[in-house]
């Protein structure tokens, strides 16, 4: 309950405050958000499967964000940033979809 | 006793004020904040501000190519416009009129006047046949005659000559008889010289027993015209 409320509060805060994202962070923030979403859906799936652990969630959340951003940063340095960020987004989106499928099976039994 | 999934979900949705729940909650706040921030950034600052260096170079390249294409198009259109302006409707019409006039003279569809020569061949005994007249016409054409008339018959590109039944010359179906008056517009002196060359038309006429007289004039008029015939077979290609 608290995490769901937190997500809502964060979105409202962001919309109200309209934070200016620092320039150096702009290429990486969307990737990091997608990575974090992957962690959140993974956590929800684990919750429904009864294997959720706060510690695992925190670590996976942080590592997902950091690794995704780092991969894109590395791609930028190598000159393949656009392609690599596309690749990261594709992988994360595929994971989100598979998590969603598992959640759906648990919730709707279908 | 194992919990059912619904129980687990219910437990999860119940607010529990544990330290770890708060930690997860704070991270979710951050996630929501970042999401909203990303969306805002995407909305307001367009593509260029957040684009990578390579993307910017790509965009710049595209723009440069597009600009050169457009410049080329501009050049083509400008030159087309200049041509159209230079050849305005009035000028085109005037040029066309000049052309029509020149072609009308050649085709013999208009009366003409100008400096030229008048030749009279008197043949009381009927010794002159069409070949001599034809020679005279060829000679005049070679000497630069622009319009030729024989006894009121305009001589044009498809005029034909034949001998009359017992005397006279058949010009495109009309028989003319002596005296033959040939009027030609062009350089009179040149035409006179061409007719008088040794063994030429004048000699031939005299040898046959007829008389030949030619005098150049400052201004002769040819009133005869021919009706242009519509070609039956030939069609213009342009």
* Residues B151-177 pLDDT 10s: 999 999 888 998 888 778 889 888 888
* Phi, psi for B49 (deg, rounded to 5): -60, -35
d(CA A32, CA A25): 10
How far out from the chain centre does Cα B97 lie?
15
Least confident of A28-42, B31-45, B102-116: B31-45
Give the SS3 label for residue B29: helix
d(CA B133, CA B171): 10
Determine the length of chain B. Answer: 238
- With contact defined as beta carbons under 8 Å apart, do B66 and A40 qualify? no
CA angle B13, B14, B20 (to 5 degrees): 90
Exposure string for B172-194, b = 16+ CB within 10 A, e = fewer: eeeebebebbbbbbbbbebbbeb
What is the pTM (predicted TM-score) of this model? 0.43
- With contact defined as beta carbons under 8 Å apart, do A20 and B40 qualify? no
| pLDDT band with cut points at 50, 70 and 90 for residue B92 | confident
Cβ–Cβ gap B15/A18 under 8 Å? no
> What residues form DSSP beta bridges with B117?
B184, B216
Check CB contact of A22 with chain B, cutoff 8 Å.
no
| pLDDT band with cut points at 50, 70 and 90 for residue B219 | very high
Question: A51: distance to nearest CA of chain B, Å?
Answer: 10
What distances in angstroms separate CA B136 from CA A89, B57, B195, one per listed residue?
A: 97, 82, 7
Cβ–Cβ gap B25/A11 under 8 Å? no
Mean pLDDT of B118-129: 88
pLDDT at residue B186, rounded to an integer? 92
Q: Which of A2, A13, A48 sits opposite B8 (nearest CB)?
A: A48
Check CB contact of A50 with chain B, cutoff 8 Å.
yes
pLDDT at residue A12, rounded to an integer? 84
Mean pLDDT of B200-211: 88
Handedness of CA B193, B196, B198, B200 (dihedral sign): positive
Q: Name which residue leads in pLDDT, B139 or A16.
A: B139
Residue of chain A whose Cα is closest to the Cα of B28: A7
- CB < 8 Å to A55, chain B: 20
Exposure string for A23-60, b = 16+ CB within 10 A, e = fewer: eeebbbbbbbbbbbbbbbbbbbbbbbeeebeeeebbeb
């Amino acid at each position: 309950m608290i995490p769901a409320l937190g997500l809502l509060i964060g979105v409202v805060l962001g919309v109200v405050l309209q934070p200016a994202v620092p320039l150096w962070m702009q290429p990486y923030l969307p990737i990091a958000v997608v990575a974090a979403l992957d962690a959140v859906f993974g956590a929800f799936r684990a919750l429904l499967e009864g294997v959720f652990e706060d510690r695992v969630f925190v670590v996976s959340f942080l590592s997902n964000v950091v690794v995704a951003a780092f991969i894109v940063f590395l791609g930028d340095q190598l000159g393949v940033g656009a392609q690599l960020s596309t690749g990261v987004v594709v992988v994360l989106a595929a994971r989100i979809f598979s998590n969603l499928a598992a959640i759906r099976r648990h919730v709707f039994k279908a | 006793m194992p919990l059912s999934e619904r129980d687990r979900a219910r437990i999860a949705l119940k607010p529990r004020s544990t330290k770890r729940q708060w930690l997860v909650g704070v991270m979710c706040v951050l996630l929501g904040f970042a999401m909203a921030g990303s969306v805002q950034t995407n909305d307001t600052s367009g593509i260029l501000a957040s684009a990578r260096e390579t993307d910017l170079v790509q965009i710049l390249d595209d723009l440069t190519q597009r600009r050169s294409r457009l410049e080329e198009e501009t050049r083509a259109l400008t030159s087309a416009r200049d041509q159209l302006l230079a050849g305005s409707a009035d000028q085109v019409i005037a040029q066309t009129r000049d052309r029509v006039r020149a072609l009308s003279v050649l085709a013999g569809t208009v009366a003409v006047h100008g400096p030229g020569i008048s030749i009279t061949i008197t043949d009381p005994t009927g010794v002159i046949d069409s070949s001599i007249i034809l020679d005279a016409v060829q000679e005049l054409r070679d000497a630069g005659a622009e319009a030729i008339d024989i006894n009121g018959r305009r001589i044009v590109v498809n005029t034909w000559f034949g001998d009359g039944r017992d005397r006279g010359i058949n010009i495109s179906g009309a028989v003319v008889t002596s005296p033959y008056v040939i009027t030609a517009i062009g350089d009179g002196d040149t035409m006179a010289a061409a007719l008088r060359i040794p063994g030429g038309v004048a000699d031939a006429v005299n040898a046959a027993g007829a008389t030949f007289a030619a005098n150049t004039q400052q201004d002769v008029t040819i009133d005869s015209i021919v009706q242009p015939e519509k070609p039956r077979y030939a069609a213009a290609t342009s």
